[in-house]
């Protein structure tokens, strides 16, 4: 309820601005038709782009007596130069004069279209808005003298980064390709993995100004129709000027804004996305972002790494357990330390208490403040480490490790035990494969520490109970966030805490996929038949 209150206030503050913007936007939306004069058409385009320097205009003469004037317009850097070369080549040289007979005005355009344009996807356009959008998205526009329509040839050739290993999720065993900023590359990476006609990609354009291309990918027949419909519905509801990254979309379509937990899974790994598509989930790809989001997402997914599926099941299970354990360390270690040291000293073995007491001898701060100080210091170090230019990274780690760690202990400002707790927490935090979950734990940790400082272990317990209640209220596209633990689904436990052998994963997650649960009918084990006793 307080959440709604905050939401309303925020909405009120920002309402006025958004209204103004929509008004100014709609003024531009008037339709303007092309005219027959080449000069004025070019002028009009130039004006509406504000004489932008990346607009290239070339006027060439073709035809039997070089009497047909054609203006070629494109955006510098947005088109494939080789294709442009081909296009100009065929317009000027390869066409026999007899091919183009300027008798009929309609046939002139179609003649050129049929005979002269050898590359790309071609369409005829009559209004300026579409034409300009096309020019800006990698088309070359052919404007012909005395013709009130243009030919738009799609020869996009964006500068793009190659497919590289994703920075955010590295692994030892498994594919090393990652999504890039280019939508076409990304969809091809998915197609390469799922060569099925059932992999459907549906395109959308979001953002009044940016007009960003967004693709909804799912496997027809596996993905629940309702969820696909819901994804469409939520994406259509977005009314915003700019989508620059998947994070923007994620924030606009998530079920619950006021939670530190990520309810939508995002990854840079095509293999992870392919795996999730095959479980019946829906992926959303956004042009210009190497991150792909997948819905609906469960909390357990944030503990799963792609590598789990590429190595032995027992080892993967062990690693899963380790990650869940780390989750609790990262969440609770400092708060437990505070609680035990300020309220429940009797819980410690005597020798441990003695050694901690000896370390704390002469420390000026209470345990809570000490913990807060170190945790904050570490958070600052980490934030600085991420934002900093790589060249100064080394200086940073020296300052961080030596000055803040060792010197603080030697100066008697913090105790050794505290440094151990903080570093253990930090390392445990890095064990969680999904960064967005790791960050949310960092946040909750401070709340837990405050509870521990005020109420001791009772406070920590209280915090955990509240956290559980909160997690149980969360939904991701209608699917309970904590499933398959709450509600408990026995069949889905095979891929949560444990990672069962692949041959035993014969069904897909039940809550996500109701219509096609069975993955494979028989469970082949690769043991020789004599040994299985058949």
Partner 1 sequence: MKKVIFFILFTIVSIPTLSACWDTREVNDLAIAVALGIDKSEDKGYTVSVQILNPSEVASQTAGGGSGYDTPVTTYTSSGKILFEAIRKLTQQTPRKLYLAHLRIIVIGEEVAKEGIYNAIDFLSRDPELRTDFYIIVSKDSKAEDVLRILTNIEKLPANKLYESLEASSDAWAVTGKVNLNDLLNDIVSEGKQPVLTGIKIKGDPKIGTSPDNVQSIYPKAELVYDGMAAFRNNKLVGWLDEEESKGLNYVKGTVKSTLIVTDMNDGQVGIELLKSSAEIIPHFDVGSTPTIEVKITGEANIGEVNTNLDLLKDHVFSELEKKTNEKIKDNITSAIEKAQKEYKADIFGFGDKIHKEDPKKWEEIKTNWTEIFPTIQVEVKVDIKIRRTGTITNPFHNELSEE
- Contact range with partner 1 by CB under 8 A, out of 59-67, 107-115, 141-149, 339-347: 339-347
Does 450 engage in binding with partner 1 (CB under 8 A)? yes
Taking the least distance from each CB to partner 1, the nearer of 58 and 344 is 344
359 sits near partner 1 (criterion: CB under 8 A): yes
- C-alpha angle with apex 73: 71 to 78, nearest 5 degrees? 160
User: Which class for 367: exposed (0-12), middle (13-18), buried (19 or more C-beta within 10 A)?
Assistant: buried
Q: Is 137 helix (H, G, I), strand (E, B) or coil?
A: coil
Of the candidates 35, 357, 457, 472, which one interacts with partner 1 according to CB under 8 A? 357
Contact indicator for 404, 381 with CB cutoff of 8 Å: yes
Scan residues 48-77 and list those touching partner 1 (CB under 8 A): none
Q: Which stretch binds partner 1 (CB under 8 A): 69-77, 289-297, 359-367, 376-384?
A: 359-367
Part in contact with partner 1 (CB under 8 A); list of ranges 174-182, 260-268, 298-306, 345-353: 345-353
Q: Which long-range contacts (CB under 8 A, 24 or more apart) does 231-239 make?
A: 231/282, 231/284, 231/295, 231/477, 232/202, 232/204, 235/204, 235/206, 235/284, 236/204, 238/206, 239/208
- The whole-angstrom separation of Cα 125 and Cα 414 is 71
Residue 446 binds partner 1 (CB under 8 A): no
Distance (Å, rounded) from C-alpha 519 to C-alpha 7? 42
Residue with structure tokens 């709609």? 26
Residue choice 342, 436, 493, 516 for contact with partner 1 (CB under 8 A) = 342
Q: How many residues bind partner 1 (CB under 8 A)?
A: 26
Among 200, 455, 500, 506, binds partner 1 (CB under 8 A): 455
Q: Which of 27, 350, 410, 522 binds partner 1 (CB under 8 A)?
A: 350
**Sign of the dihedral through C-alpha 83, 87, 93, 96:** positive
Q: What is the dihedral of CA 255, 260, 261, 266, to 10 degrees?
A: 80
Chain-centre distance of CA 233, in angstroms? 19
> Alpha carbon 461 to chain centroid distance?
34
Of 189, 329, 367, 441, which lies in the binding site for partner 1, with binding defined by CB under 8 A? Answer: 367
For 485: left if phi > 0, alpha if psi spans -120 to 50, otherwise beta; the answer is: alpha
What is the nearest approach in angstroms of partner 1 to the Cβ of residue 450? 7
Element at 215 (helix H, strand E): strand 212-219
Nearer CB in complex with partner 1: 6/439: 6
Q: Considering the rule CB under 8 A, would residue 460 count as an interface residue with partner 1? A: no
- Identify the residue among 362, 389, 524, 533 touching partner 1 (CB under 8 A): 362
Q: What are phi and psi of 300, to 5 degrees?
A: -65, -25
Assess 5 for contact with partner 1 (CB under 8 A): yes
Q: What is the DSSP letter of 399?
A: I
Q: Which stretch binds partner 1 (CB under 8 A): 23-31, 421-429, 447-455, 468-476?
A: 447-455
**355 binds partner 1, rule: CB under 8 A:** yes
Nearer to partner 1, 168 or 342 (CB): 342
Q: Please give the structure tokens belonging to residue 377.
A: 């210091």
Site for partner 1 (CB under 8 A): which residue of 358, 380, 398, 486? 358
Which CB, 214 or 340, lies closer to partner 1?
Answer: 340
Minimum Å gap between C-beta 342 and partner 1 is: 5
Candidates 139, 193, 281, 360: give the one binding partner 1 (CB under 8 A): 360
Quick one: 6 or 403, whose CB is closer to partner 1? 6
Binding-site ranges for partner 1 (CB under 8 A): 1-2, 5, 341-343, 345-346, 350, 353-363, 366-367, 450, 453-455
């Amino acid at each position: 309820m307080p959440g709604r209150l905050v939401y309303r206030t925020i909405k009120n503050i920002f309402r006025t601005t958004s209204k103004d913007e929509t008004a100014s936007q709609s003024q531009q939306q008037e339709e303007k038709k092309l005219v027959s004069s080449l000069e004025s058409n070019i002028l009009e385009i130039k004006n509406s782009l504000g004489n932008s320097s990346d607009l290239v205009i070339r006027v060439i003469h073709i035809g039997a007596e070089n009497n047909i004037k054609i203006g070629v317009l494109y955006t510098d850097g947005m088109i494939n130069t080789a294709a442009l070369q081909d296009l100009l080549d065929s317009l000027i040289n390869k066409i026999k004069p007899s091919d183009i007979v300027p008798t009929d005005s309609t046939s002139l355009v179609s003649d050129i279209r049929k005979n002269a344009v050898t590359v790309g996807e071609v369409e005829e356009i009559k209004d300026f808005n579409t034409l300009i959008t096309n020019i800006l998205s990698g088309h070359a526009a052919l404007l012909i003298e005395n013709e009130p329509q243009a030919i738009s040839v799609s020869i996009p050739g964006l500068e793009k980064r190659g497919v590289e290993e994703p920075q955010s999720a590295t692994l030892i065993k498994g594919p090393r390709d990652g999504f890039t900023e280019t939508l076409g590359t990304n969809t091809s990476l998915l197609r390469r993995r799922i060569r099925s006609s059932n992999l459907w990609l549906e395109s959308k354009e979001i953002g009044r100004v940016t007009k960003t291309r967004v693709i909804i990918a799912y496997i027809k027949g596996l993905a629940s129709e309702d969820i696909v419909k819901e994804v469409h519905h939520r994406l259509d509801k977005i009314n915003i000027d700019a989508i620059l990254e998947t994070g923007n979309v994620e924030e606009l379509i998530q079920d619950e804004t006021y939670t530190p937990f990520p309810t939508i899974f995002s990854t840079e790994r095509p293999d992870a996305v392919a795996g999730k598509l095959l479980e019946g989930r829906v992926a959303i790809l956004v042009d210009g972002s190497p991150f792909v989001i997948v819905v609906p997402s469960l909390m357990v997914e944030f503990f799963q790494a792609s590598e789990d599926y590429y190595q032995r099941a027992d080892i993967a299970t062990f690693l899963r357990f380790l990650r869940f354990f780390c989750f609790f360390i990262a969440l609770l270690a400092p708060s437990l330390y505070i609680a035990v040291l300020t309220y429940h000293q009797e819980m410690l073995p005597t020798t441990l208490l003695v050694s901690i007491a000896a370390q704390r001898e002469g420390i000026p701060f209470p345990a809570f403040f000490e913990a807060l100080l170190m945790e904050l210091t570490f958070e600052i170090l980490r934030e600085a480490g991420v934002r900093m230019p790589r060249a100064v990274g080394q200086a940073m780690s020296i300052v961080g490790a030596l000055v803040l760690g060792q010197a603080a202990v030697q100066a008697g400002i913090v105790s050794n035990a505290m440094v151990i707790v903080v570093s253990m927490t930090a390392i445990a935090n890095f064990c969680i494969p999904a960064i967005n979950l790791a960050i949310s734990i960092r946040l909750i940790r401070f709340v837990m520490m405050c509870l521990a400082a005020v109420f001791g272990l009772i406070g920590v317990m209280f915090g955990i109970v509240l956290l559980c209640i909160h997690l149980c209220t969360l939904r991701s596209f209608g699917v309970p966030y904590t499933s398959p633990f709450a509600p408990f689904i026995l069949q889905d436990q095979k891929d949560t805490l444990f990672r069962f052998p692949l041959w035993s994963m014969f069904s897909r997650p039940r809550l996500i996929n109701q219509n096609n649960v069975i993955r494979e009918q028989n469970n082949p084990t690769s043991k020789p038949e004599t040994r299985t006793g058949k």
